[in-house]
Chains A and B, each alone.
Chain A
Amino acid sequence: MSTNELTLTPSQSPSLVNNKLSLSPSQALGAVRRPVNTNGWRAWLFTVDHKKIGIMYGVVAFTFFIVGGVEALLIRLQLALPDGRILSADKYNQMFTMHGTTMIFLFAMPTAAAFANYFLPLQIGARDVAFPRLNALSFWLFIAGGLILNASWFLGGAADGGWFMYAPNSGPVFSPSNGVDFWILGLQIAGIASLIGSINLIVTVLNMRAPGMTLMKMPVFTWMILVVQFLLVFSLPVITVALVLLMFQRSYGATFFDVSQGADPLLWQHLFWIFGHPEVYVLILPGFGIISEVLPTFSRKPLFGYPFVVFSGASIGLVGFGVWAHHMFASGLGPVSVAVFSMATMAIAIPTGVKIFNWILTMWGGKIWYSAAMKFAIGLVVLFTIGGLSGVTHAVAPSDTQQTDTYYIVAHFHYVLFGGMVFGLFSGFYYWWPKVFGKLLNEKLGSWNFWLMVIGMNLTFGPMHILGLQGQPRRMYIWTEARAGEGFFNFGFWNLVSSIGSFVLAVGVLFFIINVIKTSRNPERAPLDPWDARTLEWLTTSPPKVHNFDRVPVVHHLDEFFHRKYEEDEANHSMKSIAIGEDLIRAEEDAADADIHLPGPSYWPLLLAIGVAVLGLGVVYGTPIMVVGALVVLFASFGWVLEPSVPEAIDFDSPSHDGHTKEIAPLG
């Protein structure tokens, strides 16, 4: 979308030219030449630029959002009236499984990855992530995982065991279609993508912050993303084990979940939820991070209690590893385990509550600007609180055993995930759109977008509380008039309300798409600092140049950009303006660093991802395909290692920022 808008600055082109000249074809494994001067689609396919990768993550993830949304609408159509005939029982099972899987792994996580990729280096004053090629590999592996997951629709039916795919139900006896095999492979590959991405981002945050930016001067969004990456590093391997065991059982005859052989049916549940619960915070914390940027900006006040928000986020992440069994209260764990996990779960409400009060106090007494981004942020605070309260009722084990596997659970997690995470992401879209594309999204359409989504979401998920408490089981594909009950709390009325609500919600999302199309056709450029923002990503042009910052900023304050614009008036303790954002950006341009080198584009991440995908398909389609995949992986790995990441001869870095874009062979 913004290819044409990204122009090379004079200071940057010499190194690229030099890069091209200094590379002989023989250096890149003797066969192919490195794609240094790319344009058009090649500039996207072989890019290692974190901003382009971020945009691609966003576009693909939003596409999956629409796919998952259509699946949700089909589910609601089926349940709108008694004896629904839209879907068969089998298709219905596939639909809710793929809806959950798509929304979590192919929409929510990659959209957070999109924001993280794009803004994390900008917020810490870096020129790229620590390992640009690994970053590209993460993205292509995510695509491979998403395609494999969804290919199952056309290759014998999608997975049908629910998003947590409990074994032994997902074993070969009860789930004979190869949908589960595709599901395993898709998640396995998407998991590798997330693992690589998380290592990459942690190293970036810990090692590549601009001079002066201590950990406690980092923007909250960066902090929350850092916590999320630690959660991923330590939780993904556990689901990897679960997936591998299930794969061994389904494809190679192992017995891990075969109860007739004496297997323990709780093994999968434990392994899955040791990953699955931290995953919940993986989904919500980026949203928390985004609104912790948006609320202060649009309240014209600093974030209330910054260290509390940061440490609350970190403690949510930490305690999040010790509460997984609250998903299993109905499975007969025994009173001691249930008591411990119940207490731990309630304890998580404390840091979460701290955050909510911090956000409210940030707005308190502020000059609030109700922009679309701000509306979504306030929406998150309100809706997440509702979801959080129903969450506390799950922490109470006796109450939870009544709610397990009813629509009450569905209501709860949609309030926290849709009301929390999705509203956070939409807040981010409106807040950062001018940064990424240089244009402001239309505020009026944004308002429609917001209100329709709020109304739609409450109409859809609110009634589910009632349905669940009345006993409607989750994942039931049909309900009958005879058992719907009577009076105000009958199933029929509330199911219909919920289904109508889901279409209101869909229209709300449609308004966002219309807004995007309209904005892309609008020639008007956004101001460089449209929101009078506070953090470093605004201290550069919109969209940012390839090398992000003309001069690596030296940081003295939390909210550095704000403190360059305002200083405290000693007389009456108010902030007075000392500079305008646009002037500061221009000043940076004038003082640009002389020589900036950037890592060159590469074929290998894409090729390696294709190899991994083929290797994975070999599990379903036989060993020969696996061998082909393995050979491609081997070839691409050697090509990668032997590709000179940054030749010494063009290492033009001036000492002050050396290391910020440096990529060192062979791991990068």
Chain B
Amino acid sequence: MADIATHDIDHATDNATDHATGHGHHSSTGLSNNKLAMWLFLGSECLLFGGLISTYMLYRGRVQNGPHPSQIYDIPFTSVSSFVLLMSSLTMVLAVSSAQRKDDTKTNLWLLITALLGATFIGGQVYEFTAFYREGLGFTTSLFGSSFYSLTGFHGVHVSIGVIMLLSLMGIIKKGKITGDKAEVVELIGLYWHFVDIVWIIIFTLVYLIPS
């Protein structure tokens, strides 16, 4: 125990020295507060989507008089919009990398492309929802309908909030309003963005690809 204590105090001193030379801030884990908080939030979000996905898996075959999943899913279309969303993770990585190199112009460019790809995905989802509705699957039609729209809708809202955050971030960077570590702010929103993408991979597999 005593060894650990000494080590920890040494560690703290290291950090203090770091600060004096202008690197980072002291924290017991080494992760910044913001990043740790974002990870915890995403951990919590896993359970949120876990609950929604479980509900969908329970109800996906219960269609009453409405259409069956296999009758309405347009796998090629959704594959394309999934690909668009996945590509936005790549552009997000490029945005983070530009931010770390302190290249504001490129950061903004990649953020914009990421937001546009995200918006394209949302557009695809709006189109898909409209098409499904025309084919007879409303929110209240069946248990399948309620749980499908709730799950994919929740995901869509997450992507939309991500797009708003990306656009707001561009505005804030342009006006130079970020007082802290700019690259870290970009990275935090990037973490959120990647999480939303990963959730989509799971949803796409479970909802669209596995036949019920």
Give bound CA distance, A253 to B140, whole Å. 6
B158 within 8 A of A: no
Given contacts A241-B52, A271-B51, contact A664 B139 (CB under 8 A): no
List A contacts of B1 (CB < 8 A): 214, 216
Task: Indicate whether A245 sits within 8 Å of B55 (C-beta atoms), given known contacts A130-B37, A131-B37, A234-B44.
Answer: yes
B: number of interface residues (CB 8 Å): 57
Q: Contact at B142–A255, with CB atoms within 8 Å?
A: yes
Is B185 interfacial (CB 8 A cutoff)? Answer: yes
Residues of chain A with a CB closer than 8 A to B33's CB: 130-131, 203, 207-208, 659, 662, 664, 668
A208 and B34 within 8 A (CB): no
Q: Which residue of A lies closest to B146 (CB)?
A: A254
A350 at the interface (CB under 8 A from B): no
> Does B109 reach chain A (CB closer than 8 Å)?
no
Render A257-274 as a binary contact track against B, CB cut-off 8 A, 1 for contact: 010011110010001000
| Residue pair A207, B140 in contact (C-beta under 8 Å) | no
Indicate if the CB atoms of A233 and B177 lie closer than 8 Å.
no
Check if B27 sits within 8 Å of A666, measured CB to CB. Answer: no
Given A217-B5, A256-B55, decide whether A212 and B28 contact each other with a Cβ distance below 8 A. no
Number of A-B contacts (CB under 8 A): 167
- Asked whether, in the complex, the Cβ of B45 is within 8 Å of the Cβ of A209, the reply is no
Bound-state Cα–Cα, A662 to B181, Å: 13
Query: Interface of chain B, helix or strand or loop or mixed?
Result: helix
Report the separation of the CA atoms of residues A209 and B145 in the bound assembly, to the nearest whole angstrom.
Answer: 49
When C-beta atoms are compared, the residue in chain A nearest to B180 turns out to be A664
Q: In the complex, what distance in Å separates the CA atom of A236 from the CA atom of B168?
A: 29
- Would B150 and A645 count as touching, CB distance under 8 A? no
Report if B48 contacts A (CB, 8 A).
yes
Residue in A209, A234, A240, A267 whose CB lies within 8 Å of B28: A209
Q: How far is the CA of A263 from the CA of B143 in the complex (A)?
A: 7
Stretch with Cβ within 8 A of B (4 or more), from A194-202, A286-294, A372-380, A446-454: A194-202
Measured CB to CB, the nearest residue on chain B to A638 is: B168
Give A260 to B82 CA distance when docked, in angstroms.
35
Q: Is B143 a contact partner of A256 (Cβ separation < 8 A)?
A: yes
Closest to A274 in B: B51
Give the size range of A's interface with the partner: 35 or more
The reply to whether B8 and A214 form a contact with Cβ atoms under 8 Å apart is: yes
Question: How far is it, in angstroms, between the C-alpha of A556 and the C-alpha of B2 when the chains are bound?
Answer: 8
Which among B8, B179, B188 has the greatest number of chain A C-beta atoms within 10 A? B179
| A644 beta carbon closer than 8 Å to chain B | yes
Tell me the bound Cα distance from A235 to B13 in angstroms.
37
The answer to whether B179 touches A646 (Cβ under 8 A) is yes
User: Counting CB contacts under 8 A, is A642 at the interface?
Assistant: yes
Report yes or no: B62 in contact with A261, Cβ–Cβ below 8 A: yes
* Partner-contacting stretch, out of B18-26, B115-123, B194-202, B203-211: B18-26
Please determine whether B12 and A648 come into contact, CB atoms closer than 8 angstroms. Answer: no
Chain A residues closer than 8 Å to B32, beta-carbon distance: 664
- Does any Cβ of A come within 8 Å of B75's Cβ? no
Q: Are A556 and B5 closer than 8 Å at their CB atoms?
A: yes
Question: Scoring B residues 113 to 157 as 1 if CB is less than 8 Å from chain A, else 0, what string do you get?
Answer: 000000000000000000000000001101101110010000000
Verify B139–A237 contact, CB threshold 8 A. no
User: Is A31 part of the contact surface with B, judged by Cβ < 8 Å?
Assistant: no
Residues A199 and B26 in contact, CB atoms below 8 Å apart: no
Interface hub of A131, A200, A208, A665 (most chain B Cβ within 10 A): A665
Residues in A whose Cβ lies below 8 Å from that of B13: 211
Is A487 close to B, CB under 8 A? Answer: no
Nearest Cβ on chain A to B137's Cβ, whole angstroms: 12
Is B139 within 8 A of A254, CB to CB?
Answer: yes
Can you give 19 contacting A-B residue pairs, CB < 8 Å? A131-B37, A199-B44, A202-B40, A209-B28, A214-B1, A233-B40, A234-B44, A237-B46, A253-B140, A263-B62, A267-B55, A271-B55, A645-B179, A655-B16, A658-B19, A660-B26, A664-B34, A666-B172, A666-B180
Interface of A with B (CB < 8 Å)? 130-131, 195, 198-200, 202-203, 206-209, 211-214, 216-217, 233-238, 240-242, 244-245, 248-249, 252-256, 258, 261-264, 267, 271, 554-556, 638, 641-642, 644-648, 655-660, 662, 664-668
Closest 4 CB pairs of A and B: A241-B51, A211-B12, A237-B48, A664-B180
